[in-house]
């Protein structure tokens, strides 16, 4: 039996082994901890130093000032102005509702604004400022500052907002900016900033990238919650580039003023031969500023329901039958096919094709009698062009239409342009499933039927007829101070003699005793214009209408009346300007649209003289 000494020795050995194991375990843990600390503090020190720095310092993007838009003479069309806004910081007040009530006693705070503010406060952290009202007047800012002690949590901030000095007068060309929508997001961080506005229409959209500029950065110190402690550094970025347009704002304003007496109308003025768009007026119009702050639902609905289509840029997106303004195209197609300008047709006031009867506007007086091409253009004889259209066929008419700029976008540097329509046999078959009929060729001969044109296309067509050059319109003159290069227009390839016949006919429209627009002639010989009137039917006149003597569209409801059109160029001796006017449901091209063209062309020429000849004088060498 072991003695008590042996037992003590065994227990001592066991304790020693356990103590050694425990010490070894502790040493292992300590070694692991030391190794981990070494790894974190030495091996990975740079990485964790950067992470710690990022937690303390944030980089924030700064929206750059948007580029300024000018007209051709340096007039500012769009720029930035200081925008004063009042914001509320929820963490600085105990009751937001009471704070808004107090602010309402100083400035107006509508109910819908209060609801929006409360929604944003619920979504955001308490230290994040929430905009209550922006675009404050200086008087409103002053009232808030004077009552600052009774408006805890309210602060005035200063930013930039887009301003349009001429507002509605030029919005269809310049366009407007608005908040970035979900569809606009491209992954560019700048677009996610709450105050950024981008171009949504017109030149603002066309040159948005250039106008937008390059974002700046702000390096700020923040705490663990993300609250800004102080700004460490700031780089303002690069402002947007300036864009200079071909528009002449003085002429644009004049054109708008001339259209203002009509319910709905549009005018385009081109400088030739460079194709500069000098005026692009569409009436009625709208104010671009509310789009920048955000339209209310009621404001948007009012614009959508406007009876005369204020949102629609009629100059590039309005599509109308050209009516008799199309007759120079048909005449050129006939001359180029070999028909002599001296060829005469008899006009008894109507034209029969099978069982169908097509009328000339002179049917009440027994027609125009025997007329040649120049007389037919000057008198706008429908029967003459009915005969011509059937003789040469719709293919030649359509081909000449496209050659003169119809049936396709003119490629003006602005979004939203519509193509119009020059019909073909194939188009009709594919669209309606029916074959082309001779009666449709007859209608095409006077610019009726399926054919559709925009006012800009009519201006381009007229410019090509007036010069014999392949004129192309442009709206941008320079971006960032760098001129936009344009190639000199090439000759269109039409016979100079044939062009001269049509030009003589258009001259006689205005300047001969029997011309349809003689009452709109410019009296000063040096400024004399040539042109062509048109009245495009909207409602078909039925036999029942004729039997009931209900053929005067002036007596019809406005939306059923004929459109009034006029295309023109001046001066006749050496064209420098082209003007096309469409008055929706204006009835008479010569009576309503021609006087507007006359006044606009006269103003353009006088402004040219006052400025020492701003637009080059040129014609095709072949003419």
243-245 and 76-88 beta bridge pairing: unpaired
Catalytic residue, from 324, 401, 512, 568: name it.
324
Is 622 considered catalytic here? no
| Structure token digits, residue 400 | 């000449």
Q: Tell me, what DSSP letter sits at residue 210?
A: H
Please state, in angstroms and rounded to a whole number, the distance separating the CA atoms of residues 390 and 385.
8
d(CA 592, CA 561): 13
3-state SS class at 305: coil
- Establish whether the linkage from the previous residue to 162 is cis, with ω within 30° of 0: no
Cβ atoms of 150 and 135 within 8 Å: the answer is: no
3-state secondary structure of 253: helix
The answer for residues whose C-beta is within 8 angstroms of residue 488's C-beta and 6 or more apart is 273
Report the run of H or E that residue 394 belongs to, with start and end: helix 394-403
Beta bridge partners of 217: 61, 235
Tokens of 387: 């005969």
CA 356/CA 386 separation, integer angstroms: 13
User: Cα separation of 368 and 375, whole Å?
Assistant: 9
Alpha-carbon distance values, 284 to 322, 342, 416, 453 (Å): 21, 44, 17, 20
Q: Are 512 and 518 in contact (CB under 8 A)?
A: yes
- Beta carbons within 10 angstroms of residue 127's beta carbon: 14
Tokens of 344: 């005469």
Residues 6+ apart with CB under 8 A from 34: none
Q: Which of 208, 274, 255 is nearest to 415 (CA)?
A: 208
Nearest one of 145, 199, 140, 144 to 173, comparing CA atoms? 199
Could you count the other beta carbons within 10 Å of the beta carbon of residue 431?
A: 11
> What is the longest distance spanned by two Cα atoms in the chain?
155
Which of 311, 309, 389 lies closest to 345 in space, CA to CA?
389
Contacts of 348 (CB under 8 A, 6+ apart): 366, 367, 383
16 CB-side CA count, 13 A: 6
Angle at 515 between CA 459 and CA 366, to 5 degrees: 120
> How far apart are alpha carbons 184 and 200 in whole angstroms?
10
Residues labelled as active-site residues = 324
């Amino acid at each position: 039996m072991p003695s008590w000494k042996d037992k003590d020795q065994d227990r001592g050995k066991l304790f020693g082994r356990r103590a050694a194991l425990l010490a070894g375990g502790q040493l292992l843990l300590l070694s692991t901890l030391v190794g981990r600390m070494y790894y974190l503090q030495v091996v990975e020190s740079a990485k964790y130093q950067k992470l710690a720095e990022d937690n303390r310092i944030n980089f924030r993007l700064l929206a750059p000032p948007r580029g300024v838009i000018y007209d051709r003479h340096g007039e500012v069309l769009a720029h930035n102005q200081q925008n004063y806004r009042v914001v509320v910081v929820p963490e600085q007040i105990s009751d937001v509702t009471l704070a808004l009530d107090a602010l309402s006693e100083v400035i107006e705070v509508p109910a819908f604004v209060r609801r929006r503010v409360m929604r944003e406060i619920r979504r955001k952290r308490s230290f994040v400022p929430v905009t209550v009202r922006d675009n404050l007047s200086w008087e409103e800012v002053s009232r808030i500052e004077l009552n600052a002690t009774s408006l805890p949590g309210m602060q005035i901030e200063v930013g930039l907002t887009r301003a349009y000095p001429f507002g509605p007068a030029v919005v269809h060309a310049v366009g407007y900016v608005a908040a970035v929508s979900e569809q606009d997001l491209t992954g560019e961080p700048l677009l996610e900033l709450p105050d950024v506005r981008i171009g949504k229409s017109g030149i603002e959209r066309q040159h948005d990238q250039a106008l937008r500029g390059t974002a700046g950065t702000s390096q700020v110190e923040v705490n663990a919650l993300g609250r800004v402690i102080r700004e460490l550094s700031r780089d303002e970025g690069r402002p947007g580039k300036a864009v200079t347009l071909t528009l002449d704002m003085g002429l644009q304003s004049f054109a708008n003023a001339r259209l203002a007496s009509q319910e709905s109308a549009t005018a385009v003025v081109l400088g030739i031969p460079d194709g500069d768009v000098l005026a692009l007026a569409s009436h009625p119009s709208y104010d671009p500023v509310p789009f920048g702050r955000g339209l209310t639902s009621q404001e948007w609905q009012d614009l959508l329901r406007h009876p005369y289509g204020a949102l629609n840029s009629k100059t590039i997106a309005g599509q109308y039958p050209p009516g008799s303004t199309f007759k120079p195209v048909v005449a050129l197609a006939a001359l180029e096919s070999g028909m002599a300008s001296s060829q005469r047709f008899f006009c008894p006031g109507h034209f029969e094709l099978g069982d169908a009867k097509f009328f000339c506007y002179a049917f009440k007086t027994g027609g125009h009698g025997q007329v040649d091409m120049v007389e037919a253009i000057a008198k706008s004889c429908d029967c003459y062009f009915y005969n011509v259209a059937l003789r040469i066929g719709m293919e030649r008419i359509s081909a000449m239409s496209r050659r003169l700029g119809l049936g396709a976008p003119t490629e003006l540097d602005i979004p939203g342009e519509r193509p119009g329509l020059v019909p073909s046999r194939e188009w009709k078959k594919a669209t309606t499933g029916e074959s082309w009929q001779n009666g449709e060729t007859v209608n095409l001969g006077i610019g009726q039927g399926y054919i559709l044109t925009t006012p800009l296309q009519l201006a381009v067509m007229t410019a090509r007829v007036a010069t014999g050059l392949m004129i192309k319109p442009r709206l941008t003159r320079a971006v960032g101070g760098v001129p936009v290069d344009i190639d000199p227009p090439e000759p269109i390839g039409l016979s100079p003699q044939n062009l001269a016949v049509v030009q003589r006919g258009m001259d006689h429209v205005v300047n001969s005793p029997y011309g349809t627009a003689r009452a709109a002639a410019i009296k000063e010989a040096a400024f004399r214009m040539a042109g062509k009137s048109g009245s495009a039917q909207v409602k078909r006149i039925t036999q029942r209408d004729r039997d009931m003597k209900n053929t005067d569209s002036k007596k019809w409801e406005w939306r059923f009346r004929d459109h009034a059109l006029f295309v023109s160029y001046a001066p006749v001796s050496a064209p420098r300007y082209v003007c096309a006017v469409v008055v929706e449901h204006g009835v008479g091209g010569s009576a309503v649209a021609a006087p507007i063209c006359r006044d606009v062309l006269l103003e353009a020429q006088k402004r040219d003289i006052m400025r020492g000849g701003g637009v080059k004088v040129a014609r095709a060498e072949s003419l």
